[in-house]
Amino acid sequence: MKERKNWKDLFPTPIYTLASFDIKLPRSEKEKTYYVLKSRNWVNVVPVTKTGEILLIKQYRHGIGEDSLEIPGGIVDEEGPDSELTSVIRELREETGYATDPNKIKLLSKFSGNPAMFTNWSYSYVAYDVEPVHDVEFDEGEDIEIVLKSPKEVKRLLLDGTIHHPHMAAALGIYFLLEG
């Protein structure tokens, strides 16, 4: 592994920090400065109801300036052996009001946020037998609509580009590869 030296946090924001580091290029042996976005890890979850429907959420995304159909997810708040699972349980509850037995939540995969420019990882889970247990608890600025779809409908939404968030599409793709 190449050694990254002289890390500098250049521009911190609440979501990520623009940072730089120096690295020696293998062919030329020259040192070059690279820029990355440091961020906490992310999680998302494919929530499956007892009847087999998949729970999606529709929410406005400022980056594209329009609604996006996704699965619940968010930023991992703390570090530790169960921090991703704890964050999945929290995001599912806050964004949808749904929950399940934690033993029915399984890790699907771990993806790089974007290996060219992000330092973090995105963890995808599936939660079986989710059901509504209480009111939603949106973060400030969130306005989420819950959408229940059959697996067949979700596959169509993936194929026609309606579900276009790459981390959500990857999680759903892995889920369908495993579940059929």
Q: Each residue of 120-170: pLDDT tens digit?
A: 999 999 999 999 998 777 767 778 899 999 999 999 999 999 999 999 999
Q: How far is CA 17 from CA 22, 64, 139, 165, in A?
A: 17, 21, 21, 22
Q: 45: exposed, middle or buried (C-beta count within 10 Å: 0-12, 13-18, 19+)?
A: buried
Tokens of 157: 């939404």
What are residue 160's phi and psi, to 5 degrees?
A: -90, 0
Q: What is the pTM of this model?
A: 0.91
Tell me the HSE value of 116 on the side-chain side, using a 13 A CA sphere: 0
What are residue 104's phi and psi, to 5 degrees?
A: -100, 15
Task: Give the model's pLDDT for residue 173.
Answer: 97
Q: How far is CA 69 from CA 60, 66, 83, 174, in A?
A: 9, 10, 25, 17
Tokens of 67: 């609604």
Calculate mean pLDDT across residues 54-61: 96
Q: Each residue of 64-108: pLDDT tens digit?
A: 999 999 999 999 987 766 689 999 999 999 999 999 999 999 999
Distance CA 85, CA 94 (A): 14
80: number of Cβ within 10 Å: 9
Calculate mean pLDDT across residues 5-13: 96
Q: Collapse the DSSP code of 87 into the 3-class scheme (helix H, G, I; strand E, B; otherwise coil) and give the result.
A: helix
What spatial distance separates the first Cα and last Cα of the chain, rounded to whole Å?
A: 37
Beta-sheet pairing, 121-132 with 42-49: parallel
- What percent of the residues of the chain are helix, what percent strand, and what percent coil, each to the nearest 5? 20, 45, 35
